[in-house]
Amino acid sequence: MTYPLIQRELTIHVNNGNWYLRPIDNTSILGPVDYGWHRYRTYPDSFTFGEGLLAGSSIPGSRRLVFSGWSPQWDGFYISSMGGAAYTFHGVGVNYVALRGKAHETSILLLNHKQGEIQVRLEPVNIEALWNGYADPQGRPLLGFFALQQALFDRYASEYAPGKIRICTVGPAARHTNEGIIGSSPYHKGSLSGVVDWAGRGGMGSRLLQNHEIAAIIFGGEWDDPDLRDSKEIDAYFMEHFGQKTIQTDMALTEKYRYVPQFETGGTFGVNMREMNERMMSFNYTSIYHSDEERLKQHKDFILDHYLAQFNEETIKTRNFQHCGEPCPVACKKMNEIYKKDYEPYHALGPQIGVFDQRAAEKINDYVDAMGFDAIQTGGTVAWIMDLISSGIIQPEEFGFPPADQMNFKFTPELSEFDLINDSLRNADYAQAVVEAILFDPKARNFREGIRNCSEKLEMKLKNSSAGAVYLPHGEEGCMVPNQYWVAGMLSPMPMMGKYYVYYEGKFLPPYELGKKNVERMTYELFNDNSGICRFHRKWAETITDEIIMAHFNIDLNYKKHQFELAKEIYDGECSKSLAGFTERTIDLLLTFLQQWDRFGLKDEVLKYWLNRFEEDKYIAAGDWWAEVKRGIDDAFNSSADLIPDMLTPGQADKLKNS
Ligand code: SF4
């Protein structure tokens, strides 16, 4: 059955509380990224959020809420999405919301849909008092983001029908830094679930609070969507392409995030930690200077036998799996008590800061979450600071950090002497003291400006202090600590880094080819982001989302071309902000990635060429490598979407193989 495409946007001027609802008549807007980019180009001060066209369906993973706007952390346009939140947002009865202006006092924004009417209101809130402490229903003390979220739930939940409320809010990092995130817990049986989903990269929480003076958005409602109710219709698409119904297909194609029987683990933490092997990055990336054998030993002794073993025992064996707030059989949220174990935060605020024990990792990750920080960015920054202190390059007291010997943290240890439990805990405690100082101690104010700005300033005072800071610079002041994969793709000049708009498989590609592949990946990742689909479902989403949307809404359009054109527009608008200025350790990360392939015996003339270039002068070679990746990106965007191969379903791929 086809259904007319009707989309509505809600624009709210938070400076005066005026709002209006309009139908979207721009036919090129088919999703929240289209909408956010369009608003950003028209009104650069806009902050938007919205759902994908399938949010009213029963398709698992189709209800992410996508935030976008100018990011203070990246100094450019950014997209950050939150799992499951559109499941509740859908009840408001609008597709997209755009905020403009700045409230006169710190406020919360309430959106509701009751008795056929949309309600919008702003209310002032004293966030500092709530961040300082609030108790949960059992009387346990909460801090920062968690405290504010609970207080708002207690205050406003009764305005919403049970289960039809979600609170997106921020922590102190949003006030004091550019790295504040937006978090939200789903509703569960009358209270807030222990799972928290984050729009975790890009500093969108800082953006919301500092530019709009909005500390929380509470939404929900009772809008009844008549569309996409027919699960038979959805099943038919899956049957045609995968030979199985929706849920069966989804279960088969999301194994990594659910449970992998042959690995006896699951989720991003379980699978990535298991698979890391000699690509282990630890102690602020200094492990890249060790031999493969040393890294393998560290992986076995520290990760497989302890960090991962604990996780498997506590989380996998007990099947403590939850979902993000929308019914999803993948249940990728791997829990231990109140702690959610995802690979990237538990790596950046794990091995990178010398933490290899779950108790220590839970402690530091929970604190950073409570402060509402981007955990990957914070992990990279704190690892660099601990490296600086332990190498004696800075005196911690000068910057408000505790004296190193007072807490006795171990950052450049003889690994045979590293006590996995006690030293991990000491390192986590020191990391927490550093984060606390960054937020609240005036002596640490330069570090509050982020790893790039601070390392550049520090370098003027202390030669070589910036060498170990690993980040991707962007624009005049922005930067991103790269995602925690030791691959060349994660250092690419794509318009949004810190996401997965890159080729990041652990394989060597010549830089020009890598650039082209990045464009392909960005195009397909937009099948997910621009459709509000969770990328953990990408194995089917990138194959049939186009067909479902085009057929159901009777739209005649090449969806791949549409996402390609959007990616190209974003690239054209933003590419002048990409910078090649890598620090020495970032260059070494790239160089050692290439050297590994040489050691693995890859015979490739292009690899040989680049290794020679790096041997001559690694700084010049890194700049040239970066330019070559960029040339590949430029050429791919300047050619046609037709050159991007179609995603094939298993049946189609088999047919092709046998033809
Ligand atoms: S895979 Fe995880 S984040 Fe994605 S929809 Fe399912 S539960 Fe939510």
Output the pTM of the full model.
0.96
DSSP 385-434: HHHHHHTTSS-GGGGTPPPHHHHT--SS--GGG--TTHHHHHHHHHHHHH
The pick from 82, 326, 529, 539 for probing ligand 1's pocket by mutation, whose C-beta has the most ligand atoms within 8 angstroms, reads: 326
Pick the closest to residue 435 from 351, 498, 347, 353 (CA basis): 353
- What pLDDT is recorded for position 658? 57
Ligand 1 pocket check for 330: Cβ under 6 Å? yes
pLDDT at position 652: 66
Pairing mode, strands 18-23 and 8-13: antiparallel
For residue 83 and ligand 1, the question of a CB distance below 6 A is answered with yes
In short, whether 324's Cβ falls inside 6 Å of ligand 1 is yes
- Confidence (pLDDT) at 60: 95
Q: What percent of the chain has pLDDT over 70?
A: 98
**Cβ-based neighbours of 453, under 8 Å, separated by 6 or more:** 446, 477, 479
Residue nearest to atom 5 of ligand 1 (CA): 61
CA–CA dist 183, 200 (Å, integer) = 8
For helices 375-390 and 358-370, the axis angle rounded to 10 degrees is 120
Which residue's alpha carbon is at the smallest distance from atom 2 of ligand 1?
332
Probe residue for ligand 1, chosen from 188, 254, 323 as the CB with the greatest number of ligand atoms within 8 Å: 323
pLDDT, tens digit (0-9, with 9 covering 90-100), for 496-528: 999 999 999 999 999 999 999 999 999 999 999
- pLDDT < 70 stretches in the chain: 1, 649-659
Q: Residue 573 Cα, ligand 1 centroid: separation in angstroms?
A: 31
CA–centroid distance, 217 to ligand 1, in Å, is: 22
pLDDT for res 654: 63
Half-sphere exposure of 588 (CA within 13 A, CB side): 15
Ligand 1 pocket mutation, candidates 330, 342, 535, 540, criterion most atoms within 8 A of CB: 330
Q: Check if 84 has its Cβ closer than 6 Å to any atom of ligand 1.
A: yes
